[in-house]
Amino acid sequence: MDEIKMLEEVESNAAHDLEEVKDLNELQQKKALYLGKKGPLASIMASMKNLTVEAKKELGMRTNKIKASLEAKFEAKRKQIEDMIVNKKLESETIDVTLPGYKLPTGGIHPLNQTVMELEDLYIGMGYTVAEGPEIETDEFCFEKLNLPKGHPARDMQDTFYINPELLLRSQTSPVQVRTMLKENGKPIKIICPGKVYRRDADDATHSHQFMQCEGLVLGKNITMADLKGALLEMVKKMFDEDRKIRLRPSFFPFTEPSVEVDVSCGICGGKGCPTCKNTGWIEILGAGMVNDNVLRMSGYDPKEIQGFAFGIGVERITMLKHKIDDIRNFYTNDLRFLNQFKEEK
């Protein structure tokens, strides 16, 4: 029977075509081609009316079987294509859980705080403790008990912000000396006090209306200027480098007698003279001296029993020298391009 041959051909052609199908669209087209109303199976069925009953039965059964088998094949292919689409999508959405996470931006310790932490470390190593005092201070502690009575000309150097005639933003960390002496009541003292101070200065490359100091006070029996020099030389060697020298120049502070200004040998020219040290080979970094008898007496210490020294380090000054920073305003303008340079990488 020719029809049977045709059927077999249709079946094998369809199976072959199905293998080539790549997407659902194509599948739909092929399905219509083979199983549609105008397809070969439909026309074979239509041509059956002229056959014998026996032949009709035989061909009808065969046709239906092939139709069913083709339908199953098309269905299987459709599932296969759909699975492929889902798999592709899943693949494109896969997350590699072994990839390292994104690095989130982190902050760093401000360069001034880094200096304060280094100062604290090194002075704690020498037996000092860290004291603190308020930034809103009384005139009495900031000036009077430091031998700067009202109207004293040396107050001019530290004009500050007054809240009222008796309260002000401290212009120096020295009032913490007074507070500590009053608290210790005649006992020996060995403290440093880092903190913020304020002055009515116009901001420029070397002045800021708010800056930081680190005060030091050591009181005890038989303390001399040699001890002061040792405490400062040690600090300079640790903060800068071992080859640095210091120089003590006579100066005046109302709260110390004798008073000195302390210079460090210039790290850029090694002391030979260069623009940074204005050709002197030395750079001023702090004020210091032996605590004035009046200051001791006013806070309950007997100068015949106990003496000592004090110093006031400029934190900005040291940080600027250490990192070759030429404008103090950099510390206070919060420019991340500046600050990020001082971040320790983790």
Residues lying near ligand DAH in the complex (CB under 6 A): 172, 174, 215, 253, 255-256, 287-289, 310-312
Q: Which of 147/174 has CB closer to ligand DAH?
A: 174
**Nearer residue to ligand DAH within complex by CB, 213 or 330:** 213
Comparison of 59 and 315: residue with beta carbon closer to ligand DAH: 315
Instruction: Report the side by side order of strands in the sheet with 256-265.
Output: 129-130, 189-198, 210-220, 307-314, 282-291, 256-265, 246-253
What's the closest the beta carbon of residue 340 comes to ligand DAH, in angstroms? 31
d(CA 260, CA 239): 20
Q: Least CB distance from residue 289 to ligand DAH, whole Å?
A: 5
3-class SS at 171?
A: coil
Which position's Cβ is nearest ligand DAH? 312
Q: What whole-number distance in Å separates Cα of residue 289 and Cα of residue 255?
A: 8
Displacement of CA 264 from its chain's centroid (Å): 32
| Nearest residue (CB) to ligand DAH, 156 versus 344 | 156
Q: Copy the structure tokens of residue 57.
A: 């039965």
Q: Which pair of structure tokens corresponds to residue 43?
A: 């026309």
Closest to ligand DAH by CB, 159 or 335: 159
DSSP string spanning 77-106? HHHHHHHHHHHHHHHHT---TTSPPPPPP-
Rounded least distance, CB 134 to ligand DAH, Å: 16
Rg (CA), the chain: 46
Length of the chain as a residue count:
346
Range 174-200 burial, b when 16+ CB lie within 10 A, else e: bbbbbbbbeeeeeeebbbbbbbebbbe
Q: Least distance (Å) from ligand DAH to the CB of residue 314? A: 8
Q: How far is the CB of 338 from ligand DAH (least distance, A)?
A: 25
Q: Which residues of 16-143 form beta strands (DSSP E)?
A: 129-130, 136-138
Q: Least distance in Å: CB of 255 to ligand DAH?
A: 6
Cβ 252 to ligand DAH shortest distance, Å: 10
Nearer to ligand DAH, 44 or 189 (CB): 189
- Residue 201 buriedness (CB in 10 A; 0-12 / 13-18 / 19+): middle
Closest distance to ligand DAH from the beta carbon of 281 (Å): 23
Closest CB to ligand DAH among 150 and 272?
A: 150
| Cβ nearer to ligand DAH, comparing 44 with 181 | 181
Question: Cβ closer to ligand DAH: 271 or 289?
Answer: 289
The residues near 290 (Cβ < 8 Å, ≥ 6 apart) are 224, 225, 228, 256, 257, 258, 307, 308, 309
Residue-wise DSSP of 195-257: EEEE------SS--SEEEEEEEEEEETT--HHHHHHHHHHHHHHHS-TT--EEEEEEEETTEE
CB of 197 to ligand DAH, least distance (A): 7
